[in-house]
Amino acid sequence: MSNKGQKLYKRAKKIIPGGTMLLSKRPEMFLPDQWPAYFSKSSGINVWDLDKNKYRDMSIMGIGTNTLGYNNPDVDQVVKNTINNGNMTTLNCPEEVKLAEKLIEINPWADMVRLARTGGEANSIAIRIGRAASGRDNVAICGYHGWHDWYLSANHNKKDELGTHLLSGLNPFGVPKALKNTVFPFEYNDLDKLKSIVSDHNIGVIKMEVIRNKEPQNNFLQEVRDLANKENIVLIFDECTSGFRETFGGIYQKFNVNPDLIMLGKTLGNGYAITAIVGKKAVMESAQSSFISSTFWTERIGPTAALKTLEIMEKTKSWEIITDLGKKMNELWLKIASNNSIDIEISGLPAISTYNFNYKNNLKYKTLVTQEMLKKGFLASSAFYASIKHSEQDIKDYGESLNDIFYKIFECEQDNINIDKLLKGPVVHSGFGRLN
């Protein structure tokens, strides 16, 4: 069987470090040597590979960017109109003002907005602003916040500081050692640890995911807010991943705790590059005391796509749809596991959830799932990112196929089948720690 995607990937690895621009899209993260790797077209939840094979995407939907489905016709049309009228000129695009106004409307505690194109950029901008506003360099962090030096420098403090937040065993090569002891990780719901860091390290910024696999306990978010107020610390919520999954805006809205800054991304443009830093005037104006500027932050496609995406989200209540679908998928995973006497653990928000097998062969079993589901016409991993284009029938069809594979895993655990004999290639690589 032809696999043009794998052939192209072998070429890519010779000329692109790592083979792809994004770790999460490397074939090794799904099905080494077998994953189709590249797409030719997409629509709704369907993706066609270079061999014209059609798959239903029951996995990560563009790394969580396409909650309205692939190639949403309304979003794509306004982008086409933008292309016809011009994307980039010496003058600024009016859509950036309209988008800023809309984001402030969604987050009424906020006063000002800066736009960027990627989550990593947005996180770095927010840190720069937070440090400028507080007048202090040191940052306390919880969760995954991108690839930039400021974040990875935590692994200079002591070995594997980011092990539970990003990847275990990650070496901060290329990150200046002078940044050692400027960023200090704390675990979610561990208020005592955070208080200790604040007390010992002159913290100016607290930066965190609002939810990290579990909801806040013992009024955790409010306690963090109170601590930040007491110590004049800038509180930043990273909602690049969680934004617009359960609310029309940040998931912080569920807990009635407002930050000083928030980042929104991924879902914001339904596949088009756009992120936003939204915050209070007293903090955001500090951007002017530093230098934060980039040519392509002024292009027109991102803001145009975002405005239409927000309009459709609001009209359809997309966050309710994807949360409901995610809950149905979680229930399905548990039912199939129970029916086959398989022990799994589910984590993440319903709309971006994942499961793990509670066995030593967890990664081998994940590999088997992806391998066999691919044969059945599904892009499937151990994660499911819901979109409004997924249907209950899609979930049902997916479940019927998955059930057979879970039974094989049960047989493996009973030593009736050797898992190694079922796999047609190498074992999937372990992913990195983030919200899901």
Whole-number pLDDT of residue 73: 98
Closest CA relative to residue 429, chosen from 168, 77, 118, 119:
168
Helix (H) or strand (E) holding 345: strand 344-347
Do the first three CATH levels of 4-71+317-422 and 73-316 match, i.e. the same topology?
no
Q: Are 249 and 313 in contact (CB under 8 A)?
A: no
Predicted confidence at residue 430, as pLDDT, reads 86
Closest CA to 384 of 298, 323, 320: 323
* Inter-residue contact 260 to 134 (CB < 8 Å): no
Q: What angle do CA 364, 365, 371 make, to 5 degrees?
A: 90
Amino acid at 160: D
- The pLDDT, as a whole number, for residue 436 is 38
Please name every residue paired with 183 in a beta bridge, in sequence order, or none if there are none.
139
Nearest to 261 by CA among 94, 113, 388, 147: 113
Measure the CA–CA gap between 132 and 431, rounded to whole angstroms: 34
- The alpha carbon of 264 is separated from its chain's Cα centroid by a whole number of angstroms, namely 11
In the prediction, which pLDDT does 149 show?
94
Amino acid (one-letter) located at 260: D
Task: For the chain, give the number of residues.
Answer: 436
Query: Encoding tokens for residue 355?
Result: 């499961």
Domain 4-71+317-422 coded CATH 3.30.420.310: no
pLDDT tens per residue, range 45-65: 999 999 999 999 999 999 999
Question: Would you list the domain boundaries of the chain?
Answer: 4-71+317-422, 73-316
CA–CA separation, 288 vs 279, rounded Å? 14
> Residue 1: its pLDDT value, please?
59
Q: Which of 390, 314, 399 is nearest to 352 (CA)?
A: 390
Radius of gyration of the chain from its Cα atoms, rounded to whole angstroms? 22
| Rounded Cα–Cα distance for residues 264 and 81 (Å) | 25
Report field, pTM of the whole predicted structure over 0.85: yes
Tokens of 112: 């000002």
* C-beta separation of 223 from 86 below 8 A: no
pLDDT at residue 148 in the model: 95
pLDDT tens-digit readout, 67-76: 999 999 999 9
pLDDT given for residue 168 in this prediction: 85
Distance between CA atoms of 207 and 263, rounded to whole angstroms? 10
50 burial via Cβ count (<10 Å: 0-12, 13-18, 19+):
middle
Using an 8 Å Cβ cutoff, are 389 and 47 in contact?
Answer: no
pLDDT string in tens for the chain (436-residue length): 579 999 999 999 999 999 999 999 999 999 999 999 999 999 999 999 999 999 999 999 999 999 999 999 999 999 999 999 999 999 999 999 999 999 999 999 999 999 999 999 999 999 999 999 999 999 999 999 999 999 999 999 988 899 889 888 888 999 999 999 999 999 999 999 999 999 999 999 999 999 977 899 999 999 999 999 999 999 999 999 999 999 999 999 999 999 999 999 999 999 999 999 999 999 999 999 999 999 999 999 999 999 999 999 999 999 999 999 999 999 999 999 999 999 999 999 999 999 999 999 999 999 999 999 999 999 999 999 999 999 999 999 999 999 999 999 999 999 999 999 999 999 999 876 544 3
Collapse the DSSP code of 378 into the 3-class scheme (helix H, G, I; strand E, B; otherwise coil) and give the result: strand
Find residue 57's DSSP bridge partners.
Answer: 379
| C-beta separation of 401 from 373 below 8 A | yes
Considering only the top CATH level, what class is 73-316?
alpha beta
Pick from 405, 402, 400: which is nearest to 417 by CA? 405
322 near 386, Cβ under 8 Å?
A: yes
Query: Can you name the residues that pair with 277 across neighbouring β-strands?
Result: 114, 263
What pLDDT, on the 0 to 100 scale, is given for residue 160? 86
- Residue 433, pLDDT score: 55
